[in-house]
Structure 1
């Protein structure tokens, strides 16, 4: 199988850097996050060190800050050429990757770091979970067991939301999803007002087609200025998923309101068996069919090792 970002392939669309090479690209940058802040931002069973943030995520935030500034400058030049002033539009960053690979932690770290740069951009984070159909609709459609697959999302609503953002609408809102109750929270909205940057995180945000259905004219990724795919070996992701499931038994699953309350009292062996079944029947299928094929559409691929740390970065040549 060809590695499209191999450093040994002169025709590769990516520049490949290891962690040390990447860290050297942002010398002298001051780490603005404390260990306590990093601990609050990381997900279950992840252990992101302050060195990891300094070596990987801080340089990445610097690159994104430069891209955002360049985009804003281009907007000003366009206004100058058109002899008129148009509304400011946010720089949109898309983030994709498998369930349990650490997308949410990556998104939160980037949001926190980007907002600390001297120009203090207003950075919002949106997960596409809010655009899942409510459980009652999934039940009606008979696809409750395909939650997270492309057909389980109201993609048209997500595209309208992103179109409003890119049209300069000053305030937009999105539905809110609760992982505790495993459903859309009725009547609750996430309001985004005059952002400079919006990070859109979701497993399928880079997808363009699926299951032979009619290909739409507009894709979610059409609205992205930059896209990131968080990658890892499948065996590692599977093990992270199992460990996360086992940890949730004594945390979120214990909550009486949890959709997964029935799993709270499983033994280790039972939990592993249930988690493996869910992975094999749902997450693995979705990964192979819908998520992994989009990896090489990303502008940046972050490849993580067994301990969740980023080992290499693959930046698309511009």
Structure 2
């Protein structure tokens, strides 16, 4: 373990993979081969070794945080003379398109649900809070899908506030990557879980501060713990193109798919198209809006070429 040397006043402790793996202690491996297959992504396979070395130590740390949060909430309720209502522990997972946020979220959901003090763990992607395509088209920002202005941030804040207040049966919208749009007749119901994992692109971005000092909530205000999935942008671009090419031979082949037209391209045309989409939309969003928020995360998982985490940065308390 070292202090992050990228800055003389860095708030992070840095662990290489070997150091981080030791922090697993006696945490048992609770996922089998079928779980690993189910949790893997389109191009990112979840290995037993990666879970043992990276995600079991992380789940152990998060379990400590959840237990401490539950105890603090109970103590505060006693102090205020209030009945103890269940308040979910909320984890935010941020990072670029194609960096592996969804895979990390699924793995953590599976692991954390095995701990005795958090048997119910829900997962909500913030893609559902994207504005519908019709609205994006009307506003002329379809080519900025995924940028902060393409989200219904007010609806996301309302959702998080309701969940954090312990409200029952809170609804979240659902996004379809197949249709490339929000599904108007589909919702996810979050009903007072022990933990809620929220994953998305711009979760750690602060709001513009008002000159009059009035309170403006940030999405990250509702997080008890935040994680940023990091990798070199050039690597992420390669992963995006690889995923695009894989989907072109699978999901894109369905005539009902939004990207069906790309299945008809030659390999060279498809690669050029994927690279253009990455550079003009996703990389631009990463540089302008996502990467600048990395240092706001409590924990940073730094990936390398084979999608594995090699370095972990944990914010000092």
**TM-score bucket (shorter structure):** over 0.9
Aligned equivalent of 2:165: 167
CA contact (8 A) 1:228 1:302 kept: yes
Match of 2:178 in 1: 180
Worse-matched range after superposition: 149-158 or 29-38: 29-38
How far off its partner does 1:119 sit?
3.2
1:95-115 CA deviation, whole Å, 9 max, x = no partner? Answer: 100000000000000000000
2: CA distance between counterparts of 1:74 and 1:141? 45
> 1:9 Cα shift?
5.3
Unaligned runs of 5+ in 1: none
* Bigger Cα displacement from structure 2, 169-178 vs 302-311: 169-178
Q: Deviations over 1:44-85 (max 9, x none)?
A: 111221011011011101111110110000011111111221
| TM-score after normalising by structure 1 | 0.95
- Counting only pairs closer than 5 Å after superposition, residues 95-244 of structure 1 correspond to structure 2 as 95-209=93-207, 217-244=216-243
Q: Does 1:290 align with 2:289?
A: yes
Q: Is the 8 A contact 1:7 1:15 kept in 2?
A: no
Q: Distance in 2 between matches of 1:9 and 1:19?
A: 21
Number of residues paired by the alignment?
313
Contact 1:231 1:302 in 2 (8 A): yes
Q: Is the CA contact 1:96–1:103 (under 8 Å) kept in the aligned structure 2? A: yes
User: Could you tell me how far apart the structure 2 residues matched to 1:138 and 1:150 are?
Assistant: 12
For 1:158, what is the secondary structure of its paired residue? Answer: helix
Shift of 1:121: 2.2
CA distance in structure 2 between the partners assigned to 1:148 and 1:199 by the alignment: 19
For normalisation by structure 2, the TM-score amounts to 0.95
Aligned to 1:273: 272
Aligned to 1:84: 82
Q: Does the Cα contact within 8 Å between 1:176 and 1:185 map onto a contact in 2?
A: yes
CA distance in 2, matches of 1:281, 1:216: 34
Question: Secondary structure of 2:229's match?
Answer: strand
Does the Cα contact within 8 Å between 2:207 and 2:217 map onto a contact in 1? no
Cα distance in 1 for partners of 2:136, 2:117 equals 43
Which segment is superposed worse, 119-128 or 192-201?
Answer: 119-128
Partner of 2:49: 51
RMSD over aligned Cα atoms:
1.9
Query: What secondary structure does 2:270 align onto?
Result: helix
Runs in 1 of length 4+ with deviation above 2 angstroms?
5-11, 118-121
**Maintained 8 Å contact 2:163/2:190:** no
Following superposition, the deviation at residue 11 of structure 1 comes to 2.6
3-state secondary structure, aligned to 1:137? helix
Instruction: Name the structure 2 match of 1:307.
Output: 306
